[in-house]
Amino acid sequence: MDVLNYEINDHVALVTLNRPEARNSLNPELIVALAEVWDQIKEDQQVRVAVITGAGESTFCSGFDLGTTIPVITGARNPQNEVEELIAADRELLRRATLAGHDIDKPLIAAVNGHAIAGGMELLLSCDLRVVGQGVKLGLSEVALGLIPGMGGTALLRRHLPGALAMEMLLRAQPIISDELGNSGLFNRLVPAGDVLTEALELANSIAVNAPLAVQAARRVVRHSADLGEAEALVLESDVGAVLAQSEDAKEGPLAFMEKRAPRFEGR
């Protein structure tokens, strides 16, 4: 059985963590597969939006596998196969897999159909939009294990949650039920767990019908301007918009509107 499933339909890529028997924990094989699939999505012009979810009904992702990945990266035991040697030799693989400091340049939606703990929570934070199931646990448990969330959790959580709430999640290492975070701004939709993937795919398809270069440009400006002052952010917006205006899609959109037809965007 493949530890990662990948499919594309109508410009939407669906990435499924496929280790339900292990709560979709990130073992070395899954880490390498994730790092590879993000590169594939970034380069594939047919993909306009990506969705990530977990197989099974209980857990989206429980983080790095405590029996394999964690002992290897802490040096508690030596690598026992080629894949373990890869993650031991290249810690950047872990960051690429969880998109910590890495960007696929396209919208990424988390379909959180079950609990998201530790690295699973960090994977959720790396996404642009989030559809989360009611009653699922969200948390960062690393300090209870003598570690810190090292794939973006410690650095990024405060950007998504109020300071006191983010600090509580980090320091108590206790999960918070998704329903309690419904008004926090952490996610876009809070729906019954069985509806999560359907809602996420509907959201993805509503984005995928838009001009892909424009979607990518708007996303880029939002992400890159987060730490800029207003004047710098406006300059960035102007520069990106000027380049986009020269694209074929920028001509096709207004033309289709005037001709009262659906636009045919080609990403050029």
Q: Which residues are catalytic?
A: 122, 142
Say how far apart CA 56 and CA 199 lie, in whole Å: 17
| Positive or negative torsion for Cα 151, 32, 217, 127 | negative
HSE, CB side, 13 Å, CA atoms: give it for residue 21.
Answer: 3
Identify whether the C-beta of residue 56 lies closer than 8 Å to the C-beta of residue 5: no
In eight-state DSSP terms, residue 202 is H
Say how far apart CA 85 and CA 31 lie, in whole Å: 12
- Residues 80, 151, 104, CA angle at the centre, nearest 5°? 100
Main-chain dihedrals φ then ψ at residue 53, nearest 5 degrees? -145, 180
In eight-state DSSP terms, residue 155 is H
Say how far apart CA 236 and CA 68 lie, in whole Å: 44
How many other CB atoms are there within 10 angstroms of residue 98's CB atom? 28
